[in-house]
Amino acid sequence: MNLKSSVATLCCAGALLAGCGGSGINDKAEVSVTYELKVDGKLVEKQDTPVTYNVNTYPVKGLYEALKGKKPGDSLKIIIPPEKGYGMPQKEQIYAVPMDTPSPPKVGDKVNARNKKGVMAAGIVTKVDPKSMEIDFNSPYAGKTLEYDLKVRGVSPYRPK
Protein backbone atom coordinates (compact mmCIF):
# COMPACT_ATOMS: atom_id res chain seq x y z
CA MET A 1 0.00 0.00 0.00
CA ASN A 2 1.45 3.38 -0.97
CA LEU A 3 0.98 6.75 0.71
CA LYS A 4 -1.82 7.85 -1.62
CA SER A 5 -3.89 4.73 -1.03
CA SER A 6 -3.27 4.98 2.74
CA VAL A 7 -4.52 8.57 2.76
CA ALA A 8 -7.52 7.58 0.63
CA THR A 9 -8.33 4.76 3.04
CA LEU A 10 -8.12 7.12 6.02
CA CYS A 11 -10.29 9.71 4.27
CA CYS A 12 -12.93 7.11 3.47
CA ALA A 13 -12.85 5.84 7.06
CA GLY A 14 -13.20 9.42 8.33
CA ALA A 15 -16.11 9.99 6.00
CA LEU A 16 -17.85 6.87 7.26
CA LEU A 17 -17.38 7.95 10.87
CA ALA A 18 -18.78 11.39 10.09
CA GLY A 19 -21.87 9.96 8.42
CA CYS A 20 -20.83 11.09 4.93
CA GLY A 21 -19.71 7.77 3.52
CA GLY A 22 -22.23 5.27 4.84
CA SER A 23 -25.21 6.93 3.17
CA GLY A 24 -23.15 8.80 0.59
CA ILE A 25 -22.74 12.52 0.02
CA ASN A 26 -24.85 14.79 2.22
CA ASP A 27 -24.96 18.53 2.95
CA LYS A 28 -22.18 18.22 5.53
CA ALA A 29 -19.66 16.69 3.14
CA GLU A 30 -16.71 17.86 1.14
CA VAL A 31 -16.53 16.10 -2.18
CA SER A 32 -13.65 15.66 -4.62
CA VAL A 33 -14.61 15.26 -8.26
CA THR A 34 -13.19 15.21 -11.76
CA TYR A 35 -15.49 16.30 -14.57
CA GLU A 36 -16.17 17.54 -18.07
CA LEU A 37 -18.73 20.30 -18.55
CA LYS A 38 -20.53 20.87 -21.84
CA VAL A 39 -22.75 23.85 -22.63
CA ASP A 40 -24.77 23.84 -25.84
CA GLY A 41 -23.02 20.55 -26.71
CA LYS A 42 -19.58 22.21 -26.58
CA LEU A 43 -16.90 21.20 -24.07
CA VAL A 44 -16.22 24.32 -21.96
CA GLU A 45 -14.40 22.87 -18.92
CA LYS A 46 -12.39 19.74 -18.26
CA GLN A 47 -11.00 18.98 -14.81
CA ASP A 48 -8.72 15.90 -14.69
CA THR A 49 -7.22 16.82 -11.32
CA PRO A 50 -9.76 16.37 -8.51
CA VAL A 51 -11.32 19.58 -7.17
CA THR A 52 -12.71 19.59 -3.64
CA TYR A 53 -15.58 21.74 -2.35
CA ASN A 54 -18.35 21.76 0.24
CA VAL A 55 -21.42 20.49 -1.57
CA ASN A 56 -23.71 22.86 0.32
CA THR A 57 -21.87 25.99 -0.84
CA TYR A 58 -21.37 25.16 -4.53
CA PRO A 59 -23.35 27.63 -6.67
CA VAL A 60 -24.94 24.97 -8.90
CA LYS A 61 -27.88 23.65 -6.87
CA GLY A 62 -28.65 20.90 -9.38
CA LEU A 63 -25.15 19.49 -9.00
CA TYR A 64 -25.60 19.00 -5.25
CA GLU A 65 -29.00 17.41 -5.83
CA ALA A 66 -27.47 14.94 -8.31
CA LEU A 67 -24.53 14.14 -6.01
CA LYS A 68 -26.65 13.53 -2.89
CA GLY A 69 -26.16 9.95 -1.71
CA LYS A 70 -23.33 9.22 -4.18
CA LYS A 71 -20.08 7.58 -3.06
CA PRO A 72 -16.43 7.60 -4.16
CA GLY A 73 -16.09 5.79 -7.48
CA ASP A 74 -19.57 6.72 -8.71
CA SER A 75 -19.74 8.15 -12.24
CA LEU A 76 -22.63 10.36 -13.33
CA LYS A 77 -23.96 12.08 -16.40
CA ILE A 78 -25.94 15.06 -15.14
CA ILE A 79 -28.09 17.50 -17.10
CA ILE A 80 -28.89 20.65 -15.14
CA PRO A 81 -31.47 23.17 -16.40
CA PRO A 82 -30.75 26.90 -15.97
CA GLU A 83 -33.03 27.29 -12.93
CA LYS A 84 -30.92 24.74 -11.04
CA GLY A 85 -27.65 25.95 -12.56
CA TYR A 86 -26.64 29.60 -12.82
CA GLY A 87 -30.19 30.87 -13.29
CA MET A 88 -31.46 33.08 -16.06
CA PRO A 89 -29.60 36.24 -17.11
CA GLN A 90 -30.60 39.19 -14.93
CA LYS A 91 -30.98 42.63 -16.55
CA GLU A 92 -29.75 44.28 -13.35
CA GLN A 93 -26.39 42.52 -13.86
CA ILE A 94 -25.80 44.55 -17.05
CA TYR A 95 -24.86 48.18 -16.55
CA ALA A 96 -22.61 51.01 -17.62
CA VAL A 97 -19.35 51.80 -15.86
CA PRO A 98 -17.17 54.86 -16.47
CA MET A 99 -14.38 54.46 -19.01
CA ASP A 100 -11.07 55.18 -17.30
CA THR A 101 -8.54 53.61 -19.62
CA PRO A 102 -6.53 55.11 -22.48
CA SER A 103 -7.11 51.97 -24.60
CA PRO A 104 -10.81 51.13 -24.44
CA PRO A 105 -11.90 47.49 -24.67
CA LYS A 106 -13.92 46.15 -27.58
CA VAL A 107 -17.38 44.61 -27.50
CA GLY A 108 -16.98 40.96 -26.47
CA ASP A 109 -13.81 41.53 -24.42
CA LYS A 110 -13.63 40.00 -20.95
CA VAL A 111 -12.82 42.61 -18.31
CA ASN A 112 -12.55 42.96 -14.56
CA ALA A 113 -14.44 45.91 -13.11
CA ARG A 114 -16.29 46.88 -9.96
CA ASN A 115 -19.88 45.67 -9.92
CA LYS A 116 -22.74 47.55 -8.23
CA LYS A 117 -21.64 46.17 -4.86
CA GLY A 118 -18.16 47.62 -5.37
CA VAL A 119 -16.58 44.19 -5.71
CA MET A 120 -14.15 43.40 -8.51
CA ALA A 121 -15.87 40.95 -10.85
CA ALA A 122 -15.39 39.50 -14.32
CA GLY A 123 -17.76 40.59 -17.05
CA ILE A 124 -18.12 40.85 -20.81
CA VAL A 125 -18.23 44.20 -22.59
CA THR A 126 -21.52 44.55 -24.48
CA LYS A 127 -21.33 48.21 -25.55
CA VAL A 128 -18.65 50.92 -25.71
CA ASP A 129 -19.05 54.70 -26.05
CA PRO A 130 -16.50 57.49 -25.46
CA LYS A 131 -17.20 57.92 -21.73
CA SER A 132 -18.46 54.53 -20.56
CA MET A 133 -18.82 50.89 -21.37
CA GLU A 134 -21.67 48.50 -20.68
CA ILE A 135 -20.63 45.29 -18.94
CA ASP A 136 -22.61 42.09 -18.49
CA PHE A 137 -21.74 40.59 -15.08
CA ASN A 138 -24.03 37.57 -15.50
CA SER A 139 -22.33 34.19 -15.49
CA PRO A 140 -21.53 33.10 -19.04
CA TYR A 141 -23.55 29.99 -18.13
CA ALA A 142 -26.68 31.93 -17.10
CA GLY A 143 -29.65 30.72 -19.11
CA LYS A 144 -27.76 27.62 -20.25
CA THR A 145 -28.34 23.92 -19.66
CA LEU A 146 -25.23 22.36 -18.11
CA GLU A 147 -24.15 18.83 -19.01
CA TYR A 148 -21.70 17.25 -16.56
CA ASP A 149 -19.85 13.99 -17.03
CA LEU A 150 -18.52 13.59 -13.50
CA LYS A 151 -16.72 11.07 -11.29
CA VAL A 152 -16.75 11.21 -7.48
CA ARG A 153 -13.14 10.80 -6.33
CA GLY A 154 -13.58 11.26 -2.58
CA VAL A 155 -15.94 12.26 0.22
CA SER A 156 -14.93 13.61 3.61
CA PRO A 157 -16.51 15.57 6.47
CA TYR A 158 -16.81 19.31 5.85
CA ARG A 159 -14.03 21.28 7.57
CA PRO A 160 -14.71 25.03 7.71
CA LYS A 161 -11.60 27.03 6.95
Residue among 35, 31, 49 at smallest CA distance from 151: 35
Residues 58 and 96 in one domain: no
From the number of C-beta atoms within 10 Å of its C-beta (0-12, 13-18, 19+), residue 143 rates as middle
CA 43 to chain centre: 15
Residues 18 and 74 in one domain: yes
For each successive 10 residues of the chain (161 residues), what is the average pLDDT? 33 38 77 95 96 82 91 96 94 88 88 85 92 92 96 87 67
What pLDDT is attached to residue 35?
96
Residues 79 and 95 in one domain: no
What pLDDT is attached to residue 14?
38
112 lies in which domain range? Answer: 91-136
What pLDDT is attached to residue 23?
64
Residues 121 and 151 in one domain: no
Residues 126 and 72 in one domain: no
Residues 74 and 95 in one domain: no
Domains contained in the chain, number:
2
CATH of the domain at 119: 2.40.10
pTM for the complete prediction? 0.72
3-class SS at 125?
strand
CATH of the domain at 34: 3.10.50.40
Residues 103 and 77 in one domain: no
